[in-house]
Amino acid sequence: MRIVLMLLLFTNLVKAEAIEDNSFLVEEAYNQEAGVVQFMSVYQKSKKQDDWSYTFINEIPVYSQNHQFSYELPVIHSASPSQTELGDVKLNYRYEFFRSDKIVTTGRASLITPTGKYDKGTGTGQFGSEVSLISSIVISDRWVQHWNLGFGYTPKAKEQGGQSADNSKYFLANSQVYLFSDHLNFMLETVMTSSETTIAEKKTEFGTDVIVSPSLRYAVDYKDWQFVPGFAIPTGVGPSAGDIQYLLYLSIEGKMF
């Protein structure tokens, strides 16, 4: 609570541009402007266990704001057995195909590369793909929504023993953002994922996870750069009840070329 009060006071002292493209679990439809590159770090830790994950994301515009390339480098730590491994790296291409004063819509196509180790539970051992439709909607001067709808598929994904089966995934996500000011935003993100997991040769188990994540983010501008730290508490509900995590976020964005 003390941290929130300090941010509210500091809001009146520092000039910042409005925050965009900084939801934590949900994609926003805004691509990077020409020459502007963004670096993001996302750290998540389980409340009950010592497991954690860290993902580094780099978004790069391609010629114009319509096209964007990004990559995601995940590092996964498990406490039992104790190990820290690189996960499956994701390569993303996004095309912004609609923009108005109120709505921006972007499509994403991703290639998931088998850089993780399936025998240690940090990868599938196979190339996978993912597609998503992303829309950002300005409801009012203080209220913005972001929506994601997507599908993923990994053929012959391996479990830790090496047995394989085709895995599919469906996901729906929403981010409600309240713009307290251009500096400080409060968010409520909801992510529902239904996916298959290989349990034996040509056999999968289907499960659904629902995560609700209250969060806040704060922006500070310095010359042509914007720094956005954030904090969230992703919490499982329904079939995922009891899964509580802490999330730390940092975005560094600026003109590079």
Confidence (pLDDT) at 137: 98
Residue 229 CB neighbours (<10 A) = 17
What is the Cα Rg of the chain in Å?
19
Does the domain at 2-255 match CATH 3.40.50.720? Answer given as no
**Tens digit of each residue's pLDDT, the chain (257 residues):** 554 444 444 444 444 567 888 999 999 999 999 999 999 999 999 988 889 999 999 999 998 999 999 999 999 999 888 899 999 999 999 999 999 999 999 999 999 999 999 999 999 999 999 999 999 999 999 999 999 999 999 999 999 999 999 999 999 999 999 999 989 999 999 999 999 999 999 999 999 999 999 999 999 999 889 999 999 999 999 877 878 999 999 999 999 88
Q: State the Cα torsion 48-80-166-149 to the nearest 10°.
A: 30
pLDDT at 17: 67
**Confidence at residue 210, expressed as pLDDT on a 0 to 100 scale:** 96
Please state the domain extents for the chain: 2-255
pLDDT at 7: 44
CA–CA dist 103, 167 (Å, integer): 33
Tell me the pLDDT tens digit for each residue of 90-134. Answer: 999 999 999 999 999 999 999 999 999 999 999 999 999 999 999
- Predicted local confidence at residue 67, as pLDDT: 97
pLDDT at position 13, please?
Answer: 45
Per-position b or e across 19-49, b if 16+ CB within 10 A of its CB: bbbbbbbbbbbbbbeeebbbebebebeeeee
Which tens digits make up the pLDDT trace of 167-187?
999 999 999 999 999 899 999
pLDDT at 2: 52
Terminal CA-CA length for the chain: 40
